[in-house]
Amino acid sequence: MKNKLLQLVEENSAKKELPEFEIGDTVDVHQRILEGGKERVQIFSGIVIARSGEGIREMVTVRRIVQGEGVERIIPLHSPKIAKVVSKRKGVTRRAKLYYLRDRVGKATRLRERKEGDTKSRAEKTEGATAE
């Protein structure tokens, strides 16, 4: 059970609408950046390789390759600096963390794309198979 004061603070500062994406999805993270007196939005595009935390402390690790070098960013989802997260492509995965992608190079880092009709979770699939 959470502390009631902590719960009130989390409710006030948590974002109301979070985008729906999973591990293995390719996302665009729109991040607000202050340069001098101006504010601009920078887009970081990559594959979600990990998700951790809960509530206001939820973090997402996004990885991309820049000039042959892997770059990872750990992004707090409820941060006011994050303008939005847009899911571009759904990936098929069988693991909760995709750290093995760090060792892969080139085309080996690609994930298969999840089809539109393939929205059932693995648990729902196994329940349907055992009921028949």
Confidence grade of residue 126 (pLDDT, cut at 50, 70, 90): low
Distance, in Å, from the CA atom of 91 to the CA atom of 57, rounded to the nearest integer, reads 24
The token pair at 65 is: 């390759």
- Per-residue pLDDT, averaged over 27-34, amounts to 95
Q: Per the domain annotation, does 45 fall within a domain?
A: yes
Q: What is the mean pLDDT of residues 28-35?
A: 95
pTM of whole model > 0.85? Answer: no
Q: Within a domain: residue 91?
A: yes
Q: What φ, ψ does residue 129 adopt, rounded to 5°?
A: -70, -35
Per-residue model confidence (pLDDT) at position 48: 96
Distances, alpha carbon 70 to alpha carbons 3, 66, 90, 97, in Å: 39, 6, 20, 16
- Distances 55 to 82, 93, 126 between C-alpha atoms, Å: 16, 24, 29
| Residue 15 confidence (pLDDT) | 85
- Percent of the chain past pLDDT 70, that is, above it, reads 87
| DSSP per position, 85-122 | EEEEE-B--SSS--GGGGG--GGGG--PBPPTT--S-H
In a domain, 127, yes or no: no
CATH number for 84? 2.30.30.790
User: What CA–CA distance (Å, rounded) separates 30 from 43?
Assistant: 5
Note whether residue 120 is domain-resident.
no
- The answer on pLDDT for 26 being more than 80 is yes
Over residues 67-109, the pLDDT tens digits come to 989 999 999 999 999 999 999 999 999 999 999 999 988 888 8
Q: Is residue 17 included in any domain, yes or no?
A: yes
Residue 45, domain extent: 4-113
Report the pLDDT averaged over residues 47-55. 93
Q: Would you say residue 132 lies in a domain?
A: no
Specify if 131 maps to a domain: no
Strands, sheet with 38-52, edge to edge from the N-terminal-most edge strand? 69-76, 59-66, 38-52, 26-35, 82-89
Q: How many domains does the chain have?
A: 1
Considering the domain boundaries, does residue 123 fall inside one?
no
113 pLDDT above the threshold of 60: yes
